[in-house]
Protein backbone atom coordinates (compact mmCIF):
# COMPACT_ATOMS: atom_id res chain seq x y z
CA UNK A 1 0.00 0.00 0.00
CA UNK A 2 1.53 3.33 -1.03
CA UNK A 3 0.78 6.23 1.24
CA UNK A 4 2.14 9.68 0.54
CA UNK A 5 4.86 10.71 2.98
CA UNK A 6 5.59 7.30 4.53
CA UNK A 7 7.39 4.19 3.31
CA UNK A 8 5.72 0.81 3.04
CA UNK A 9 7.65 -0.34 6.13
CA UNK A 10 6.45 2.72 8.06
CA UNK A 11 2.85 1.95 7.01
CA UNK A 12 3.31 -1.56 8.35
CA UNK A 13 4.60 -0.21 11.68
CA UNK A 14 1.72 2.28 11.90
CA UNK A 15 -0.82 -0.48 11.29
CA UNK A 16 0.79 -2.77 13.89
CA UNK A 17 1.08 0.06 16.45
CA UNK A 18 -2.66 0.74 16.35
CA UNK A 19 -3.08 -0.02 20.05
CA UNK A 20 0.16 -1.03 21.72
CA UNK A 21 2.77 -3.24 20.08
CA UNK A 22 6.02 -4.57 21.54
CA UNK A 23 9.11 -4.53 19.32
CA UNK A 24 9.32 -8.32 19.40
CA UNK A 25 5.70 -8.53 18.23
CA UNK A 26 6.50 -6.16 15.37
CA UNK A 27 9.43 -8.31 14.23
CA UNK A 28 7.32 -11.46 14.52
CA UNK A 29 4.53 -9.92 12.44
CA UNK A 30 6.95 -8.61 9.79
CA UNK A 31 8.48 -12.08 9.35
CA UNK A 32 5.14 -13.89 9.64
CA UNK A 33 6.38 -15.59 12.83
CA UNK A 34 9.64 -16.50 11.12
CA UNK A 35 12.77 -17.85 12.71
CA UNK A 36 14.92 -15.87 15.11
CA UNK A 37 17.46 -15.38 12.31
CA UNK A 38 14.78 -13.92 10.02
CA UNK A 39 13.73 -11.57 12.79
CA UNK A 40 17.31 -10.47 13.40
CA UNK A 41 17.69 -9.72 9.68
CA UNK A 42 14.52 -7.60 9.74
CA UNK A 43 15.65 -5.44 12.68
CA UNK A 44 17.59 -2.76 10.74
CA UNK A 45 14.64 -2.09 8.43
CA UNK A 46 12.09 -2.00 11.23
CA UNK A 47 14.39 -0.01 13.53
CA UNK A 48 14.79 2.72 10.90
CA UNK A 49 11.00 2.92 10.45
CA UNK A 50 10.38 3.18 14.21
CA UNK A 51 13.00 5.91 14.62
CA UNK A 52 11.61 7.89 11.67
CA UNK A 53 8.02 7.57 12.88
CA UNK A 54 8.99 8.62 16.39
CA UNK A 55 10.80 11.71 15.10
CA UNK A 56 7.64 12.67 13.22
CA UNK A 57 5.50 12.02 16.33
CA UNK A 58 3.52 9.26 14.60
CA UNK A 59 4.34 6.73 17.36
CA UNK A 60 5.22 7.01 21.01
CA UNK A 61 7.87 4.66 22.37
CA UNK A 62 7.87 3.36 25.94
CA UNK A 63 10.15 1.07 27.93
CA UNK A 64 8.66 -1.25 30.51
CA UNK A 65 11.65 -1.81 32.74
CA UNK A 66 10.12 -4.54 34.88
CA UNK A 67 7.64 -7.03 33.55
CA UNK A 68 5.03 -7.60 34.75
CA UNK A 69 4.63 -4.04 35.85
CA UNK A 70 1.66 -2.92 33.88
CA UNK A 71 1.44 0.09 31.59
CA UNK A 72 1.71 2.49 34.52
CA UNK A 73 5.35 1.47 35.03
CA UNK A 74 6.28 2.18 31.40
CA UNK A 75 8.66 5.07 30.85
CA UNK A 76 8.23 7.30 27.79
CA UNK A 77 11.30 7.54 25.59
CA UNK A 78 11.97 11.02 24.16
CA UNK A 79 12.23 10.94 20.36
CA UNK A 80 15.91 11.94 20.46
CA UNK A 81 16.64 8.77 22.52
CA UNK A 82 14.55 6.31 20.52
CA UNK A 83 17.41 5.22 18.23
CA UNK A 84 19.50 4.20 21.24
CA UNK A 85 16.52 2.52 22.93
CA UNK A 86 15.75 0.30 19.94
CA UNK A 87 19.35 -0.38 18.87
CA UNK A 88 19.81 -3.63 20.82
CA UNK A 89 18.62 -6.50 18.63
CA UNK A 90 17.63 -8.45 21.76
CA UNK A 91 14.79 -5.97 22.27
CA UNK A 92 13.33 -7.16 18.95
CA UNK A 93 13.31 -10.83 19.97
CA UNK A 94 11.26 -12.60 22.61
CA UNK A 95 11.09 -10.64 25.89
CA UNK A 96 14.10 -10.79 28.17
CA UNK A 97 14.17 -9.20 31.62
CA UNK A 98 17.68 -7.86 31.03
CA UNK A 99 16.64 -5.73 28.05
CA UNK A 100 13.28 -4.33 29.15
CA UNK A 101 10.18 -4.45 27.00
CA UNK A 102 9.90 -1.68 24.40
CA UNK A 103 6.46 -0.83 23.07
CA UNK A 104 5.01 1.47 20.42
CA UNK A 105 1.72 3.28 20.58
CA UNK A 106 0.15 5.05 17.65
CA UNK A 107 -0.40 8.79 18.12
CA UNK A 108 -3.22 10.87 16.66
CA UNK A 109 -0.84 12.13 13.97
CA UNK A 110 0.04 8.54 13.01
CA UNK A 111 -3.59 7.43 13.07
CA UNK A 112 -4.25 9.75 10.15
CA UNK A 113 -2.40 7.23 7.94
CA UNK A 114 -4.70 4.32 8.83
pTM: 0.88
User: What's the number of domains the chain is made of?
Assistant: 1
User: Which domain, by its residues, includes 16?
Assistant: 8-111
Task: Let me know if residue 1 belongs to a domain.
Answer: no
Higher pLDDT, 46 or 99: 46
Task: Let me know if residue 40 belongs to a domain.
Answer: yes
Task: Let me know if residue 42 belongs to a domain.
Answer: yes
> How far is the C-alpha of 51 from the C-alpha of 57, rounded, in Å?
10
Task: Let me know if residue 31 belongs to a domain.
Answer: yes
Task: Let me know if residue 51 belongs to a domain.
Answer: yes
Find out whether 31 and 93 touch, Cβ atoms under 8 Å.
no
CATH number of the domain where residue 15 is located: 1.10.10
Per 3-state DSSP, what percentage of the chain is helix, strand, and coil (rounded to 5)?
50, 20, 35
Q: pLDDT (tens digit, 9 = 90+) per residue, 80-98?
A: 999 999 999 999 997 665 5
Task: Let me know if residue 3 belongs to a domain.
Answer: no
Q: What is the pLDDT of residue 1?
A: 47
Q: pLDDT (tens digit, 9 = 90+) per residue, 6-19?
A: 999 999 999 999 88
Task: Let me know if residue 2 belongs to a domain.
Answer: no
Task: Let me know if residue 72 belongs to a domain.
Answer: yes
Q: In this prediction, what percent of the chain has a pLDDT beyond 90?
A: 66
Mean of pLDDT over the chain = 87
Amino acid sequence: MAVEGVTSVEVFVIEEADGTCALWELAAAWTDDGSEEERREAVPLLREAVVNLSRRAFVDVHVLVRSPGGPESAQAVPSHQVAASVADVRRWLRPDESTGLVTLTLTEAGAWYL
